[in-house]
Structure 1
Amino acid sequence: MTCPICEKDADEKYRPFCSKRCADIDLGKWLTGSYAVPSQREDDGEDLLRELDESTQKPH
């Protein structure tokens, strides 16, 4: 198995990654939204837009 980030051989300790660095890079991509799991719902985009619109109208 190769590391999905740099394609070096995976290390058993960090599997499927080769190092902590590559594992951290992958985690960072998830946390910043670079990776996303697509939704099966058709109206998710509309719900998100409605929530954003409502949150900008509420006073803090």
Structure 2
Amino acid sequence: MQPAIRSGTMCVCVKNYYNRTAAGAFITAQRDMRKVLVTSIVLKPNVTLVDIISTRMMGQYGF
């Protein structure tokens, strides 16, 4: 994902495998923060969320 975003001209679309008709999410190099107040609020019992901030952490020791 990082090379696509780093190019600045490409965006990555992440789709829901279980709901293929859903719009999905587009990941771009830039984001207009004036349009987004809350990115997500989720509460589900017995579910753990892992929020990866940087793809550079993937595959690194201790991550």
TM-score range (shorter-chain normalised) is: under 0.3
TM-score relative to the length of structure 1 = 0.21
Greater relative contact order (Cα < 8 A, sep 6+): 2
Larger helix proportion, structure 1 or 2? 1
TM-score relative to the length of structure 2 = 0.21
Query: Which is greater in Rg?
Result: 1
